[in-house]
């Protein structure tokens, strides 16, 4: 009946999530957020299911998934560190944090081979008076220097 | 335990938490419990004196006494010194309301923020909550619109369009289904007032949106919050749930004829969705591409229906306009910039935070008096005003008053009142290049001047910095900036030339080459953005 067990899982998750948002106007974004919350990313197999659920073309759904930075096409590391690189944090040395992460073997956009840490850039976390700022698994940190970033990365790698 | 536990405030605002407010709150509770001391810990919003966070306040007979910035390690010493009686300590700041930085401000929109527990309905009502909504519900929609128009309130999101005129257009549409949308996609660097409103006084925003709904005849509202603000999302959702239980939202709001319900929608990391028409597309479940105007959203907005789209600060200011009256609000400010603006001091600044004051305050007062100069202690070189699409201004322009028209005449913009300070180490050619690169990365791709122009902008700035045919390339950049300004569909492409040109005008020497430039890491090639970024995941 089905080609693999994972197909069943993705389809079930997507259909379940979509059912929970039926009746909401323009529900595709909330559904994509919910799928990502369940699975950690939006797998390719989710796209035809979403197209079917919302009576859209696959191209439409693909277009939405790929337009937004938040939706991942593959799983992230267990810890996601997002370094703010917007102007207010630039003014306080955000680039030093990026350089530090890169020197530690964590260039932006990459996940460590063991799947422990992903380091990304973000533009503005709304902590512009207490920069440089970054976010670790959704938790905001202000006045972060390279030493503190080092400690955060080490803690993440050990987890 | 004391019969009357002492009330202690520790902010729950994200910025305060980012520098340890949660740990301070835990330490306070733990240490007090161990000593058998009764305290009532309240997690308030932030007063906006962010360099003092975590700012602990203790209620005393003389007023709320502040201590800050407090670390968890300070807590046992503070309690031993008699903090709960407001006693002396090196971290004691005095009566918070009397601190000059706060006392000099005119807190209108931010009057409750940092004072109350954001999710306490009792606090809200005790501090003037719902007075504006009750006043509005007793009046005809057209009267409410007239009050907002007369107040002179202009959109605080950046464009400064008069709120009342927008509302009047929506009111004049005959459709049965109309929407109120709050744009809470505060993506500009140097702005955090919207976040502080949502985390610190969520009922005020709900009240403002409900007044807007009554004024224009809307029955549904959407609050589009950026995903980078998870605490604001959580607080607004909680507040909406409480408001429904209280009958402040839903069927027959406060027993009136108004039915209005409100939904939170979370963005997905696209800067362009701060543009109102992109936000509407995103709310409809589509890619957040810009719509050409006309039709204006007031007539054909969300799902093609008449829609009020306002920024958080605009809607949050509406309750006080209705409560105090248009004249009281109008009495503040200068020229056609009426009322107060919530200035946000960020970047390399000693005393960063929120300064709410009447329009007409000068940049110098904001940066030097309130801001106390740079955090690094080095000389200020430039301030970018109004976000990434705002101009970089030199210190020679610091006497410019904060006034929409005065700024526009000087080739700058007040925008949403965000100020980002840089010290003398900033490379302005790199900042100009960054402006173009940011536009290339975040352009929705709908129009060519923005999508392609920004990529060409990066290239031509690189050539100028490298000294290749400098005069020809400067002329080309000028031409490109004209084209982007005139030919782009929205502010993203249309205003990116502002930071670029201001950097060139005021800091030409930085473009003579030799300094390092910033490079944005392309995340992935996506849809239309494929044209503007290098391929694949970095």
Within 13 Å of residue B42, how many CA atoms lie on the same side as its CB?
A: 21
Query: Tokens representing B22?
Result: 């949660």
- Size of the A and B interface in Cβ pairs below 8 Å: 172
Instruction: Please compute the mean of the pLDDT values over residues B197-207 and round it to a whole number.
Output: 98
Does B164 lie at the interface with A, CB-CB under 8 angstroms?
no
Q: What is the pLDDT of residue B521?
A: 61
Instruction: Please compute the mean of the pLDDT values over residues B197-218 and round it to a whole number.
Output: 98
Q: What is the pLDDT of residue B156?
A: 87
From the list B267, B349, B444, the residue facing A129 with the nearest CB is B349
Does B303 lie at the interface with A, CB-CB under 8 angstroms?
yes
Torsion of Cα atoms, A141 then A145 then A146 then A151, to 10°: -50
Does A140 lie at the interface with B, CB-CB under 8 angstroms?
yes
Q: What is the pLDDT of residue A155?
A: 84
- Each residue's pLDDT tens digit, B75-101: 999 999 999 999 999 999 999 999 999
Residue closest to A94 by CA, chosen among A155, A45, A142: A142
Q: What is the pLDDT of residue B520?
A: 64
Cβ of B228 within 8 Å of Cβ of A25? The answer is no
Q: What is the pLDDT of residue B242?
A: 98
Q: Collapse the DSSP code of A40 into the 3-class scheme (helix H, G, I; strand E, B; otherwise coil) and give the result.
A: coil
CB count within 10 Å of CB B136 equals: 29
Neighbour order of strands in the sheet with A134-136: A110-111, A117-122, A79-84, A134-136, A139-141
Instruction: Please compute the mean of the pLDDT values over residues B95-120 and round it to a whole number.
Output: 97
Does A99 lie at the interface with B, CB-CB under 8 angstroms?
no
Q: What is the pLDDT of residue B522?
A: 57
Q: What is the pLDDT of residue A154?
A: 86
Cβ of B388 within 8 Å of Cβ of A63? The answer is no
- State yes or no: pLDDT of A100 exceeds 60: yes
- Each residue's pLDDT tens digit, B409-465: 998 899 899 999 999 999 999 999 999 999 999 999 999 999 999 999 999 999 999
Is the pTM of the predicted complex or chain greater than 0.90? yes
d(CA B486, CA B497): 10
Does B69 sit behind a cis peptide bond, omega within 30 degrees of 0 on the bond before it? Answer: yes
DSSP per residue over B125-173, as a string? HHTTTTHHHHHHHTS-HHHHHHHHHHHT-B-TTTT--BHHHHHHHHHT-
- Each residue's pLDDT tens digit, A115-156: 999 999 999 999 999 999 999 999 999 999 999 999 988 888
d(CA A104, CA A156): 13
Chain centroid to Cα A37, Å, comes to: 10
Contacts of B421 in chain A (CB under 8 A): 91
* Closest residue of chain A to B518, computed from CA coordinates: A95
- State yes or no: pLDDT of B350 exceeds 90: yes
Q: What is the pLDDT of residue A97?
A: 97
Q: Is A69:A98 a contact under the CB 8 Å cutoff? A: no
Cβ of A129 within 8 Å of Cβ of B423? The answer is no
Does B49 lie at the interface with A, CB-CB under 8 angstroms?
no
Confidence bin at B525 (pLDDT 50/70/90):
very low
Instruction: Please compute the mean of the pLDDT values over residues B25-40 and round it to a whole number.
Output: 96
Query: Tokens representing B323?
Result: 């409560």
Residue B261: strand pairing partners: B220
Confidence bin at B524 (pLDDT 50/70/90):
very low
Does B17 lie at the interface with A, CB-CB under 8 angstroms?
yes
Instruction: Report the phi/psi class of residue B262: left, alpha or beta, with left for phi > 0 and alpha for psi in -120 to 50.
Output: beta
Cβ of B17 within 8 Å of Cβ of A140? The answer is yes
Where do we find the tokens 């105090």? B324
Does A59 lie at the interface with B, CB-CB under 8 angstroms?
no
Cβ of B423 within 8 Å of Cβ of A138? The answer is no
Cβ of A69 within 8 Å of Cβ of B269? The answer is yes
Choose the mutation target among B54, B305, B307, B346 for the interface with A, i.e. most A CBs under 10 Å. B346
Spell out the residues 6+ positions from residue B24 whose beta carbon is closer than 8 angstroms to its own: B10, B54, B56, B70, B71, B72, B75
Instruction: Report the phi/psi class of residue B265: left, alpha or beta, with left for phi > 0 and alpha for psi in -120 to 50.
Output: beta
Note the residue count of chain B. Answer: 538
Query: Tokens representing A33?
Result: 């957020």
Over pLDDT 90: what percentage of chain B? 89
Cβ of A66 within 8 Å of Cβ of B527? The answer is yes
Confidence bin at B533 (pLDDT 50/70/90):
very low
Over pLDDT 70: what percentage of chain A? 94
d(CA B515, CA B427): 7
d(CA B180, CA B185): 15
Confidence bin at A8 (pLDDT 50/70/90):
low
d(CA B362, CA B380): 15
Within 13 Å of residue A82, how many CA atoms lie on the same side as its CB?
A: 18
Confidence bin at B518 (pLDDT 50/70/90):
low
Does A91 lie at the interface with B, CB-CB under 8 angstroms?
yes
End-to-end CA distance of chain B: 59
From the list A25, A123, A143, the residue facing B189 with the nearest CB is A123
Does A142 lie at the interface with B, CB-CB under 8 angstroms?
yes
Cβ of A130 within 8 Å of Cβ of B352? The answer is yes
Instruction: Please compute the mean of the pLDDT values over residues A26-39 and round it to a whole number.
Output: 96
Q: What is the pLDDT of residue B318?
A: 97
Does A94 lie at the interface with B, CB-CB under 8 angstroms?
no
- State yes or no: pLDDT of B534 exceeds 80: no
Spell out the residues 6+ positions from residue B112 whose beta carbon is closer than 8 angstroms to its own: B45, B123, B124, B127, B128, B129, B200, B201, B204
Buried b (16+ CB within 10 A) or exposed e, B479-511: ebbebbbeebbbbbbbbbbbbbbbbbebbeebb
Where do we find the tokens 């409560």? B323
End-to-end CA distance of chain A: 40
What mean pLDDT, rounded, does chain A reach? 92
């Amino acid at each position: 009946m089905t080609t693999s067990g994972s197909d069943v899982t993705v389809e079930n998750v997507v259909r379940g999530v979509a059912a929970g948002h039926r009746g909401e106007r323009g529900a595709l974004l909330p559904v994509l957020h919910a799928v990502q919350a369940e699975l950690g990313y939006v797998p390719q197999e989710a796209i035809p299911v979403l197209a079917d659920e919302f009576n859209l073309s696959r191209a439409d759904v693909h277009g939405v998934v790929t337009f937004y930075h938040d939706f991942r096409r593959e799983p992230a590391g267990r810890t996601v560190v997002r370094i703010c690189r917007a102007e207010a944090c630039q003014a306080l040395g955000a680039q030093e944090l990026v350089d530090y992460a890169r020197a530690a073997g964590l260039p932006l956009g990459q996940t460590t081979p063991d799947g422990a840490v992903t380091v990304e850039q973000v533009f503005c976390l709304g902590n512009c008076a207490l920069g440089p700022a970054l976010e670790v698994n959704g938790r905001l940190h202000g006045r972060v220097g390279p030493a503190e970033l080092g400690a955060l990365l080490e803690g993440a790698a050990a987890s | 335990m004391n019969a009357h536990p002492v009330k202690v405030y520790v902010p729950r605002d994200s910025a305060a938490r980012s520098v340890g407010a949660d740990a301070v709150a835990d330490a306070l509770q733990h240490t007090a419990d161990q000593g058998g001391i009764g305290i009532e810990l309240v997690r308030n919003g932030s007063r906006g004196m962010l360099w003092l966070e975590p700012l602990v306040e203790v209620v005393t007979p003389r007023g709320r006494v502040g201590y800050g910035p407090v670390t968890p390690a300070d807590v046992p010493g503070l309690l031993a010194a008699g903090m709960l009686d407001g006693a002396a300590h090196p971290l004691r700041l005095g009566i918070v309301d009397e601190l000059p930085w706060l006392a000099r401000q005119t807190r209108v929109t931010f009057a409750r923020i940092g004072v109350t527990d954001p999710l306490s309905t009792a606090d809200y009502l005790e501090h003037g909550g719902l007075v504006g909504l009750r006043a509005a519900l007793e009046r005809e929609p057209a009267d409410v619109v007239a009050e907002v128009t007369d107040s002179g309130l202009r959109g605080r999101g950046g464009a400064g369009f008069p709120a009342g005129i927008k509302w009047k257009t929506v009111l004049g549409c005959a459709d049965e289904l109309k929407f109120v949308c709050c744009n809470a996609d505060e993506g500009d660097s140097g702005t955090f007032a919207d976040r502080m409103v949502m985390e610190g006084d969520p009922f005020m925003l709900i009240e403002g949106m409900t007044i807007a709904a009554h004024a224009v005849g809307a029955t549904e509202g959407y609050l589009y919050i950026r995903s980078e603000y998870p605490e604001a999302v959580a607080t607004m959702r909680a507040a909406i749930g409480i408001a429904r239980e209280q009958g402040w939202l839903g069927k027959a709001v406060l027993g009136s004829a108004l039915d209005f319900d409100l939904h939170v929608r979370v963005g997905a990391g696209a800067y362009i969705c701060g543009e109102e028409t992109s936000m509407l597309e995103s709310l409809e479940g589509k890619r957040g591409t810009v719509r050409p105007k006309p039709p204006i959203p007031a007539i054909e907005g969300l799902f093609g229906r008449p829609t009020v789209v306002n920024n958080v600060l605009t809607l949050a200011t509406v309750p006080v306009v209705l409560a105090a009256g248009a004249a009281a609000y109008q009495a503040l400010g200068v020229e056609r910039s009426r009322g107060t603006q919530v200035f946000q001091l960020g970047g390399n600044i000693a005393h960063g935070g929120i300064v709410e004051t009447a329009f007409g305050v000068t940049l110098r007062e904001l940066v030097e008096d309130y801001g106390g100069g740079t955090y690094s202690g080095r000389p200020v070189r430039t301030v970018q005003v109004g976000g990434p699409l705002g101009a970089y201004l030199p210190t020679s322009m610091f006497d410019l008053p904060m006034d929409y028209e005065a700024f526009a005449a000087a080739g700058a913009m007040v925008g949403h009142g965000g100020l980002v300070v840089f010290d003398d180490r900033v490379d302005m050619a790199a900042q100009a290049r960054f402006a173009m690169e940011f536009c290339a990365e975040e352009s929705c791709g709908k129009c060519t001047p923005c999508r392609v122009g920004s990529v060409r902008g990066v290239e031509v700035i690189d050539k100028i910095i490298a000294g290749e045919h400098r005069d020809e390339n400067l002329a080309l950049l000028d031409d490109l900036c004209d084209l982007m300004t005139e030919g782009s569909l929205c502010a993203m492409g249309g205003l990116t030339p502002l930071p670029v040109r201001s950097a060139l005008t005021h800091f030409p020497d930085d473009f003579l080459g030799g300094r390092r430039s910033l490079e944005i890491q392309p995340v992935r090639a996506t849809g239309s953005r494929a044209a503007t970024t290098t391929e694949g995941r970095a």
